[in-house]
A = this chain, B = another copy of it.
Amino acid sequence: MRIPILEHILSANDRLAAENQRLLAEKGILVINLMSSPGAGKTSLILRTIEALGEDVRIGVIEGDIASRVDADTIERLDVPVVQINTGGTCHLDANMVRGSLDQLPLDDMDLLIIENVGNLICPTDFALGEALKVMIPSVPEGDDKPYKYPAMFAAVDAIVVNKIDLLPYLEFDLSAFRKLVTGLNPEVQIFEVSCKTGEGIGDWADWLAAMLTK
């Protein structure tokens, strides 16, 4: 009984996601679905991206969390329009939650919408939100074996931003083995290496994103 129900939910979500995508494309807004484990650096990457591109690009943010609005408060301090979604207990955002948030954003004055998903490497994979690009952030302390364990996530994304490279001297993380493993699952993926703490590598990420905005 459970499989047909799940299929029904998924196809309803896919339909809503396609509507979101159409609406946002009409407005000329590039939409990113940003995913990672808890604490890998989603909010930090958003802050660095605003810092790098915010003068030229009009950015809006949707923050997804089980509970709390600490991340939305952090973003709001940079004078960027932000909506917080609290999912209650749900382990991912869905297209309907995003649809409900769009009314609260100044869509006519935005170029880029970054949607920070719930911290989770599994559930968000199955739920499109209306994004043009899926981006995930693995972080160095999580270890270089994560692609073995969460292959669907690594295979589904357009770009991977490896965060916390400032901690490489203190950890065993083999970047070249990691890259090889990732490109085995996803040959076309863009891989960036950054430290949101020091700012290292953020320029390459921001340049790529700027190029995507003009596509």
Q: Given the known inter-chain contacts A167-B167, A170-B167, please indicate yes or no for A119 contacting B149, CB distance below 8 A.
A: yes
This protein's copies in its complex: 2
Question: Given A118-B122, A120-B122, A141-B164: A152 and B89 within 8 A (CB)?
Answer: yes
Question: Quick one: which of A152-175 are within 8 Å of B by CB?
Answer: 152, 164, 166-167, 170
Residues on B with beta carbons closer than 8 Å to the beta carbon of A65: 149
* Cβ B89 vs Cβ A39 within 8 A: no
Contact (Cβ within 8 A) A149 B37: no
Instruction: Identify the 10 closest CB pairs spanning chains A and B, nearest first.
Output: A39-B142, A141-B141, A68-B148, A91-B122, A37-B38, A39-B143, A37-B37, A65-B149, A38-B121, A91-B123
Chain A positions within 8 Å of B, measured between CB atoms, are 2, 5, 9, 37-40, 65-68, 70, 89, 91, 118-123, 125-126, 139, 141-143, 145-146, 148-152, 164, 166-167, 170
